[in-house]
A = this chain, B = another copy of it.
Amino acid sequence: MGAGHVATHLGLAMRQAGLEVLQVYNRTARRGQELAEMLGCTYTRQMQDLHPGADIYLMAVSDDAIPDLVSTFPFSDRLLAHTSGSVPMNALMKAGIRAGVFYPLQTFSAGHAVDWNGLPLCLEANKADDMQGLRDLAVALGASPYEVHSDDRKALHLAAVFACNFSNHMFAIAAEILKEKDLPFELIRPLMAETTRKALESGRPARVQTGPAVRSNRAIMKEHANMLQAHPLWKRLYSSLSDSIAQTTTARNKSHTHDEL
């Protein structure tokens, strides 16, 4: 169910893994039919016409769409799982439904293949057999299954907002600052790549934090604030981020005074 990025990538990965995708359900016919065609399966936009023979019914839809799908799900004794980071499993509880969660911790985008190999899949189910079924599906895709309960999954989703959405926004502001000066994006590519490589290698990014805020270099921070006069939101961010870095960073980092970045 669904025909967005997650549904598309998940459907393609299942096909690739030799699994059968029986049907695409989607409210919007055009996108649903397109995806069904890509996956070589039937399409429906009526919940009462859902194929009755699936082992798992996966809802790869926006959080808001989940309650409607649950309330109109026409079967009992079937495994219905959603792919959301923030919707608790008990939102799927309804007489006779076996509930599950199949949350891939990754960002999906159109037109770019997803590497399912080792991709963390956060699983939850209220029956042991269903947990095994979800685990088998994850493994068939080459992914790494983790059993994560609803509260922890919410924390994970919050962490993912920082690690993905907010870090991208930092890259975006950097790129916009360059653009305003007609400086090429190329200039910060190696820095972005190395920053991420280093954070990944560290296993604990707070330990490898560098920059003016760690070194308490007030002169630079003041100058940067002045340069952001035309962007009050970015200026406020610069200040809040610097405060947060100063508070979060371990004392060990503060002894490094020679690294410019």
Q: What's the nearest-Cβ distance from chain B to residue A197, in Å?
A: 9
Task: Name which residue of chain B comes closest to A151, CB basis.
Answer: B181
With A106-B261, A112-B201, A172-B199 known, 12 other A-B pairs at CB within 8 A are A5-B259, A62-B260, A84-B260, A120-B190, A155-B177, A156-B181, A159-B174, A163-B191, A164-B211, A165-B245, A193-B200, A234-B244
Q: Does A107 contact B (CB under 8 A)?
A: yes
Measured as residues with beta carbon below 8 angstroms from the partner, the interface class of chain A is 35 or more
Q: Does A98 contact B (CB under 8 A)?
A: no
Tell me the dominant secondary structure on chain A's binding face.
Answer: helix
Q: Does A132 contact B (CB under 8 A)?
A: no
Task: Name which residue of chain B comes closest to A213, CB basis.
Answer: B165
Q: What's the nearest-Cβ distance from chain B to residue A164, in Å?
A: 5
Instruction: Give the residue of B3, B173, B199, B219 whose beta carbon is less than 8 angstroms from that of A162.
Output: B173
Residues of A within 8 A of B (CB): 2-7, 60-63, 83-86, 105-109, 112, 115, 118-120, 122, 144, 146, 148, 152, 154-156, 158-181, 183, 185-196, 198-201, 203-206, 208-214, 217, 219-220, 223-224, 227-228, 233-234, 236-238, 240-241, 243-245, 247-249, 256-261
Decide if B258 touches A62 in the complex (CB within 8 Å).
yes
Decide if B170 touches A208 in the complex (CB within 8 Å).
no
